[in-house]
Each structure stands twice: as C-alpha cells, then as structure tokens.
A and B are shown apart, each in its own frame.
Chain A
Amino acid sequence: MAEYKPIRKVVSGNYAAAYAVKHARVEVVAAYPITPQTSIIEKIAEFIANGEVENLEYVPVESEHSAMAACIGASAAGARVFTATSAQGLALMHEMLHWASGARLPVVMVDVNRAMAPPWSVWDDQTDSLAQRDTGWMQFYAENNQEVYDGVLMAFKIAETVNLPAMVIESAFILSHTYDVVEMIPQELVDEFLPPRKPLYDLTNFERPFSIGALGTPADYYEFRYKIQRAMEKAKEVIHEVGKEFGERFGRDYSQMIELYRTEDADFVFMGMGSLMGTVKQAVDVLRDEGYKVGAAKVRWFRPFPKEELYELAKNVEGIAVLDRNYSFGMEGILFTEAKGALYNTNAKPIMKNYIVGLGGRDFTVSDVRKIAENMRAIIEKGELDVEVDWYHLKR
C-alpha cells in the first residue's frame, strides 16, 4: 500500500462531491441541473471537457425523472453510476427511486438538501430527502465538505457490497456553496479502497439473457421485499467495516453510524443530522465550559437506522433534545418519530423533546443551542415535558 499523503484543496461541498465522483472512477453520470446542486454536475462536465477523466459518460436529460431512469439503465448494465439533485428534483425522481432499490442497483446520488416549495425556497431543509425515507435508499448525512467527499467514496463501496442505492446528503449553500479545506485522497489509494464494481447480474452477458423488473405475482413479491430489508440489516455491518477501513487507511473513522461527541458523562445530548451538528458541537464546547454536562449525537446514517447505537446512547443519558430541520405534517419532526419509535421496546426511557429548527434555511446558531440547553435542563430537573414539539424559531 502506498503511503497516504492527502491532497488538500479548498473546495465547496459541491466540488467535493464532484471530485469524489472523479476519484471513484464513475462511468456514467446522468443529471439535470437544479439549484443548489448545479455546480456538482457543472464540475463533472468540466472534468470531461478538460479530459481529466476517462470513460465517463455524461448523459444530459430533460428532467430528474429521466436522470434516474438513465442511471438505472446504466447501473443494470453494470456501470458505476452517479447523479445529483435537490428538493423538487428529488421529488420528481421519487417513482424511479423505487425502481433502483427494488432492482437492487447501487446507484449513488448526492442530494443537496433544500426546502420544498411553496413558498419557493432554495435554502437548507431536510424534508426533501427524508420524504424519500421509504424508497429503499440508504441515506448518509454529511456535516461538512470533508464528509461529502468521504461519504461519496464510502457510499459506492457500501452500495456495491449490499446492492442497494445510496444517497449522500449535504446542506444547501451551508455546504454546497461554502468553501472549506478538504483532504482528498490520491487516485491510486482510492483505487485500492474502491475496486471496480462487480455487478450482481450482468445485463451485457448475452449468453444468458434475463429480464429485470418483470411481473412479480403475490406468490413472489413478498420475498423480494424481505430481501431488501435483509440487505439493509447487512448494510449496518458493512457500514461499520467500510467506515473502519476508511479510518485505518485515511485517518477519518466512520465506523459509528451515530457519531458521539463528548457524550461519555453527559446528562443530556443534542441529536440531529447534517451541517446543523457542526454548530451543535461548537456549542457543546461552549456549554461544557459553562458547566453544562452536554454532548452531541450526530446521526450519520438515517437509513438503515442505527437502532442499536441509539439504544446504547439512550441508556446513559437523562434527556435527548432532537433537533429536526424537517417536519412531517400532522405529526412531528421525522428524526424525533424515528428515535422515539426505536426506543419504545427498550429499557432506555430518557426524556425526549423535539425542537424544530432551521426550516427553509432559518439561521441556527450557538446561542440557539444554549437556549435549548437551558430549556432541556429545566425539563430534566422538573421531570416532565413542557411541550413535546417546540417550533423553536416561531415569531410569537
């Protein structure tokens, strides 16, 4: 193994994604431009125009639905495939997302989290990706540009091992258009980490033709659904192994599906996903100095959901403040529902409160985390909730 010397580049989250696509030696990209995803595919097109990549076919399409359809066809033929989208574009893909996961095709996509319209919004909000929860796609939420780059590389390896598609999710503008130092991995080391894809079935084998997506009667459909669930369960092990291997090779360990930050002796923790958690970690440092025993639990993988890791965390804390930059109307924040549900049949019963924050790109700062910490401390001392779901920013 060659010695690892990272290449440091100052790039936006979108460019980090594009570089990861280049380094992963992706063979087909099909995408349609949508703000704030556009600069990902622009950068990929630039790589092709400059001759910086070999054997990469860019398929310009007329909609996101077609983009995913093209990806599915290319992936079925055995290629390593990538696309990127945001919000309304992801919603337009929804129908095709099921075709990718149902046919067990390891397509990898970057979704740049953006609020759903109306009102028309291009800013950060997780509802677009979380609305795709039940499509059979794995979901990785990146906190920063480095995690976008690492996430895409790992997503290919994990997806191609369990034969399920994966989404790497980054925040609109907060990551997508903000420049930061990203440590990139030299090509030959990426090649060692990520060998060429071995498809489950090779559609280009003309000796044994077969069909994909043909009729499945009630006698057969059920078993295929179970197989997807089994692959999701296996994905938890694969995520652990690949994340560990990534840490050993490149120094950044992703073996845990929930990243714990200063939770060892914490009375209560903040739980959330994505770029939000960068702010929270910074706030935890400030709060620790002020005498709060708090920590942060960043959910990296939302699908498959890290039930077991959540249980281990919940056993040892008195409260969990779930920060949701998303909402399921008629219920509550989506991560909150999932986390509560995962713990229902366990002995862990921390007080859990849902804070709805940052919808549509509303600013969420360290001082907001402090206010939430004060509120959580009061709740824990009293032993009961004031409200279960708190629309934190609401102008009252």
Chain B
Amino acid sequence: MNTLFGERKEGATKIVLKSVDEYPEAPVTLGTTLTNFTGDWRTFIPVIDDSKCVKCYICWKFCPEPAIFIREDGYVGVDYDYCKGCGICANECPTNAITMEKEEK
C-alpha cells in the first residue's frame, strides 16, 4: 500500500515470543507498528465520499495516527490497519465528505 511514509513493508510478521528467555532484557521494540494493527480496536469506520472531497487535507492534518494518506489521484484514503475509528477526520471535514459508520465485522 502506498502511503505518505512510503511502501508498507510487506511480509512483516507478528513477533510471538513463547518463553520468557526469548524476550529482550528491556522492553524495546516489539514490532508493534508493523504488525500490531491498532485498527482492530475500531467500532466505527470512516467512509469517504470522493465527490464531496475538496482535497483540503484537513483530515490528514488532524488524524492523530498516520491513518489518513493522500492517494495518487490527490484524494484521501484511510489506512484501515491503523485507523482506530476516532472520528476526528469526520468531525473536522468542512464539506462533510467523511461519515462514520458502524463497522460490520
């Protein structure tokens, strides 16, 4: 997936540590951002209506996670692996192009 932060590293696997001795001595990087998809925590999902989007990128600026990205066509997309469904983007969107809908899982 193409995001502002470059290509997502494909093939990253979740680190599962089976015994206490496999753990690092101090709690340093557990691979969380690559494999711990915080989008799992979500109840509501932002849905973007491209026809209302004016490409102001206010949603991108306000997103507390890097979950909103700018697509190659200039419109915005949502990285659903990391979007926690907080709704800030929908709240800030001046043209109401983003609506929060309950996610069906």
Binding site for B on A (CB under 8 A): 102-104, 163, 200-201, 210-217, 220, 223-224, 226-227, 231
Say yes or no: B30 contacts A223, CB within 8 Å.
no
Known pairs A211-B29, A214-B30, A223-B20; list 5 more (Cβ under 8 Å). Answer: A104-B25, A201-B28, A215-B36, A216-B27, A223-B17
B23 within 8 A of A: yes
User: Chain A's nearest CB lies how many Å from the CB of B14?
Assistant: 10
Residues from chain A with Cβ under 8 Å of B28 in the complex:
201, 210-212, 214
CB distance from A59 to the nearest CB of B (A): 23
Which of B23, B25, B30, B32 is the one whose CB lies under 8 Å from A200?
B25
Complex Cα–Cα for A212 and B30 (A):
9
Asked if A201 and B23 sit within 8 Å, CB to CB, the answer is no
List 5 A-B pairs, Cβ < 8 Å. A212-B26, A214-B27, A217-B36, A223-B17, A227-B20
* In the complex, chain A residues whose CB is within 8 Å of the CB of B20: 223, 226-227
Q: In the complex, A150 Cα to B26 Cα: how many Å?
A: 28
Give Cα distance in the complex from A231 to B20, angstroms: 13
State in angstroms the CA–CA spacing of A223 and B20 once bound together. Answer: 6
Q: Which residue of B lies closest to A208 (CB)?
A: B29
Q: Is the CB of B27 within 8 A of A213?
A: yes
Q: A220–B30 contact, CB under 8 A?
A: yes
Q: Please name all residues of chain B whose beta carbon is closer than 8 Å to the beta carbon of A215 when the two chains form the complex.
A: 30, 32, 36
Q: Name the one of A102, A212, A220, A231 contacting B17, with C-beta atoms under 8 angstroms.
A: A220
Are B26 and A163 neighbours in the complex by a CB distance under 8 Å?
yes
Q: Smallest CB-CB separation from A221: which chain B residue?
A: B27
Residues of B within 8 A of A223 (CB): 17, 20, 23
A60 to B25, CA, bound (A): 31
Contacts of B23 in A (CB 8 A): 220, 223-224, 227
Give which listed residue, B25, B29, B30, contacts A227 with CB less than 8 A: B25
Q: Kindly list chain A residues whose C-beta atoms are within 8 Å of the C-beta of B25.
A: 104, 163, 200, 227, 231
The 8 A-B pairs of least Cβ separation, nearest first, read: A104-B26, A210-B29, A223-B20, A210-B28, A224-B27, A223-B23, A211-B29, A215-B32
State the Cβ distance, A210 to closest chain B Cβ, in Å: 4
A-facing mask of B12-35, CB < 8 A → 1, else 0? 000001001001111111101000
Complex Cα gap A227–B26 (Å): 8
Tell me the smallest distance from the CB of B67 to a CB of chain A, in Å.
16
Residue numbers in B under 8 Å from A214 (CB-CB): 27-30, 32
Contact of A102 among B27, B29, B30 (CB under 8 A): B27
Q: How many angstroms from the CA of A212 to the CA of B25 in the assembled complex? A: 12
Taking a contact as CB atoms under 8 Å apart, the answer to whether A200 and B29 are in contact is: no
A227–B28 Cα gap in the complex (Å)?
Answer: 13
Q: Which chain A positions have C-beta within 8 A of B24?
A: 201
Interfacial chain A residues near B17, Cβ < 8 Å: 220, 223
- For B24, B27, B28, B29, the residue with the greatest tally of chain A CB atoms inside 10 Å of its CB is B27
Cα–Cα distance between A223 and B26 once the two chains are bound (Å): 10
